[in-house]
Each structure stands twice: as structure tokens, then as C-alpha cells.
Amino acid sequence: MEMLKKSVIVLILLGVVTLAWVGGSIYYQNSSIDVDPNAQGLTKTLRPDFDVEELEKITSRTDNSFPVSPSEFTVLTEGN
């Protein structure tokens, strides 16, 4: 009798999970996201080259604003 009670509980939980799984699958199959047809015109491709001057500005700002430079930080954390 004890085995029957445990198996009934397991079967009920399995049924609930199955119903949730099927319900979720149906919901996600029916819900769709409409993509704006003008989206291609709103996107802009990235340039294949980097602006070196901007990278140098970012590097100098990084060196000036952080108490430890990124290269020193890398050396300090390599042992960990």
C-alpha cells in the first residue's frame, strides 16, 4: 500500500510537469515576434577598421582613471 501511495504521488507530479511542458510548448509556438520590415534600413554595418586615435584616447583615459593600469592588474592577478 505504501508503494502505491508513493507511485501515485510520482505519477501526479509527472502529469503536472508534462502538462506544464505541453502548455509551454503550445504557448511559445503560438507567440511570435513581428520583426519590423524596415529593420534592415535601421541597422548600420560596422566599419572593418578601428580608429586608432580613438583607441589611444580610451587607453590614456583608462591609464589616468584607474589606480592600477590594466597591464599591472594582469600581472598581479596571474598568480591567482
Annotate 11-73 with DSSP letters as a single string: HHHHHHHHHHHHHHHHHHHH--PPPPTTHHHH--PPPSS--HHHHHHHHHHHHHHSSS-HHHH
Least confident of 5-9, 13-17, 19-23, 46-50: 46-50
The CA-to-CA distance between both ends of the chain, in Å, stands at: 57
List the domain boundaries for the chain: 2-29+50-77
Cell of 41: 534600413
pTM, entire model: 0.40
| pLDDT tens per residue across span 60-79 | 888 888 888 878 888 888 87
Assign 80 a pLDDT band (cuts: 50, 70, 90).
low
Assign 39 a pLDDT band (cuts: 50, 70, 90).
confident
